[in-house]
Amino acid sequence: MARILVAEDDAALRRLYTIWLESAGHQVTEAADGREALEQIQRRAPEAAILDVEMPFVDGLSVARYLHARDARTAIVIISGIDDIRADALSAGAAEVLAKPCDRAALRAALDAAAWRPELCANDCTVSVTRSPSARCNPAATGA
């Protein structure tokens, strides 16, 4: 499955997202703040990222911009308690934006949508988040 970075300063939420993702078979790396997220990205770039907006040291939008500039194929989901963040999140490279708190189904749907954007599939799309790795960017193979 996918390598996913979870950057969230709320330890309980970070752990909850990690449990959900690991139970689906993903390899999860956690970061408690934006600076730690950037360090994790430099160690091993994720295929997908779940980023809180308001984090210490470096905010989630800055992390999203960095990730998107490094590899536009990275599936980025922003989760925030801030109203009206959608436009800023999308311009930073996020494919999906969720309001806090989100449930497991919403997170899964957001990751699917982020990983399967048509503009990414026009090239060599290798991100496979919650669908079969063999399906890659063939919507017919996934039933989408």
Q: What DSSP state is assigned to residue 123?
A: S
Per-residue pLDDT tens over the stretch 25-76: 899 999 999 999 999 999 999 999 999 999 999 999 999 999 999 998 899 9
Domain count for the chain: 1
Main-chain phi, psi angles of 123, to 5 degrees: -105, -155
47: domain CATH number is 3.40.50.2300
What tens digit of pLDDT does each residue of 83-125 get?
899 999 999 999 999 998 888 989 988 988 887 654 444 444 4
Residue range(s) defining the domain that contains residue 124: 3-142
- CA-wise closest residue to 46 among 9, 74, 69, 78: 74
pLDDT value at residue 114: 82
DSSP string, 16-77: HHHHHHHHTT-EEEEESSHHHHHHHHHHS--SEEEEESS-SSS-HHHHHHHHHHH-TTSEEE
Residue 133's pLDDT band, with cuts at 50, 70 and 90, is very low
> Which amino acid is it at 73?
R
